[in-house]
């Protein structure tokens, strides 16, 4: 599965009036160990660390200026890169000999602006990953350190979207926790391969979900994914602690509701009441609808 720049930033959604709670449910017999969760976090930190290392090697200060980015922007990304490197070192020291090694990656950025939008996606998904996995932790030291990393990821995401992209620094009163497999579906799109010696992670990727570039609230759009299905399907639009559902037509079209704002994670499901692994067909994908300080959508 490959994640394109368009699928990372522009995804269509539709909604019904009902709002259902979408907090990740705890697993039973397959509950991962705390070391597995820490290695899951380390896998994501390795990914971010590689992205910033490679990106800052590719794009010079002049490249950033030629893309009309602020003079101070690249310096801030240097600081973010240092943060991610520190996160990697910290988790490796906590996990010890069982710590997973970096994978091989294929990132979608091709210029400074796609570097910016990919960075925003990675930081935002990182926040959802930490908040979604928190309930698997019981060690108070692990919980505290994970919360400290989550807070930095959230600050970085807000800075990118607000100070650089001149858009909303937050979404709703709650950020969005994601299930492990939903996070892995997004992350695995840029992972080519991982060392066979790495500890197996208790995750799987669902089929990729894509929407047309330029999709906006109020539009009817066609989605695509590669999965064998039967019966009525729905699109669940996860945002904050809830999700709204809309039927997916036989032509794979949905209507994007005008009420959606900020980051939304759309998932194709076989249920119109819950978003769990056993009813997920494809996705999630990553959507960001900007809104201004008056709460008005901005294309």
Over residues 61-102, the pLDDT tens digits come to 999 999 999 999 999 999 999 999 999 999 999 999 999 999
pLDDT at 104: 98
Tens digits of per-residue pLDDT, 220-247?
Answer: 999 999 998 889 999 999 999 999 898 9
- Which DSSP letter does residue 129 get? H
| Average pLDDT rounded to a whole number, residues 263-269 | 96
Helix 112-133 with 180-187: angle, nearest 10 deg: 160
For range 186-213, the mean pLDDT: 95
Q: Which residue has the higher pLDDT, 198 or 244?
A: 198
Arithmetic mean of pLDDT, 116-130: 98
What rounded mean pLDDT belongs to the chain? 90
Judged against a pLDDT cut of 80, whether residue 40 lies above it is answered with yes
Whether a cis peptide bond, with omega within 30° of 0, leads into 59 is: no
Of the pLDDT bands very low, low, confident and very high (cuts 50, 70, 90), residue 22 is: low
pLDDT digits (tens, 9 = 90+) for 41-50: 999 999 999 9
Taking residues 185-214, what's their average pLDDT?
A: 95
Buried b (16+ CB within 10 A) or exposed e, 133-158: bbbbbeeeebeebbeebbebbbebbb
At residue 2, does pLDDT exceed 50? no
Tokens 């010890």 map to which residue? 96
Mean pLDDT of 117-121: 98
- Sort 68 into a burial class: Cβ within 10 Å, 0-12 / 13-18 / 19+: exposed
Residue (of 30, 262, 28) closest to 161 by Cα position? 262
HSE of 244, CA atoms in CB hemisphere, 13 A: 17
**Hey, CA dihedral for 27, 29, 35, 36, is it positive or negative?**
negative
pLDDT of residue 13: 31
**Average pLDDT of the residues in 17-45:** 75
Which segments of 206-274 are extended strands (E)? 209-210, 220-222, 224-225, 233-239, 242-248, 253-255, 262-269
Comparison of pLDDT for 255 and 94, the residue scoring more? 94
Q: Which one-letter DSSP state was computed for residue 255?
A: E
Residue that wins the pLDDT comparison between 199 and 15: 199
Weakest mean pLDDT among 26-30, 88-92, 102-106, 120-124: 26-30
Closest Cα partner for 65 from 111, 107, 121, 5? 111
What 3-state class would DSSP assign to 44? helix
Mean pLDDT of 151-178: 96
pLDDT at residue number 18: 42
In this structure, of 116-125, 217-226, 254-263, the range with the lowest mean pLDDT score is: 254-263
Share of the chain above pLDDT 90, in %: 77
Phi (first) and psi of residue 111, to 5 degrees: -160, 170
Q: Which residue shows structure tokens 């998932």?
A: 267
User: What's the pLDDT at 214?
Assistant: 79
207 or 23: which leads in pLDDT: 207
With a cut of 90, say whether residue 255 has pLDDT above it: no
Check if the beta carbon of residue 47 is closer than 8 Å to that of residue 101: no
Q: Is the pLDDT of residue 1 over 50?
A: no
- Round to whole Å and give the CA distance between 120 and 114: 10
């Amino acid at each position: 599965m490959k994640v394109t720049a368009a699928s990372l930033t522009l995804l269509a959604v539709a909604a019904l009036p009902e709002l259902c709670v979408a907090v990740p449910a705890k697993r039973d017999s397959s509950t991962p160990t705390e070391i597995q969760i820490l290695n899951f976090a380390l896998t994501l930190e390795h990914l971010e660390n590689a992205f910033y290392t490679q990106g800052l090697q590719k794009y010079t200060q002049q490249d950033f200026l030629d893309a009309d980015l602020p003079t101070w922007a690249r310096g801030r990304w240097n600081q973010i890169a240092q943060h991610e490197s520190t996160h990697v070192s910290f988790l490796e020291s906590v996990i010890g000999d069982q710590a997973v090694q970096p994978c091989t990656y294929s990132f979608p950025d091709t210029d400074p602006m796609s570097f910016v939008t990919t960075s925003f996606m990675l930081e935002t998904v990182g926040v959802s990953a930490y908040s979604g996995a928190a309930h698997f932790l019981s060690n108070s030291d692990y919980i505290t350190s994970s919360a400290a990393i989550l807070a930095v990821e959230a600050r970085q995401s807000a800075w990118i979207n607000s100070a650089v992209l001149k858009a909303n620094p937050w979404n709703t009163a709650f950020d969005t926790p994601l299930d492990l497999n939903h996070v892995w579906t997004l992350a695995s799109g840029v992972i080519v391969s991982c060392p066979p010696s790495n500890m197996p992670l208790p995750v799987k990727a669902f089929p990729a979900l894509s929407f047309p570039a330029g999709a906006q609230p109020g539009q009817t759009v066609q989605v695509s994914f590669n999965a064998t299905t039967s019966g009525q399907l729905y699109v669940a639009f996860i945002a904050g602690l809830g999700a709204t559902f809309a039927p997916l037509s036989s032509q794979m079209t949905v209507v994007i509701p005008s009420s959606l704002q900020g980051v939304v994670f759309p998932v194709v499901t076989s249920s119109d009441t819950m978003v769990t692994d056993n009813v997920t067909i494809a996705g999630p994908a990553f959507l960001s609808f900007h809104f201004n300080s008056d709460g008005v959508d901005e294309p």
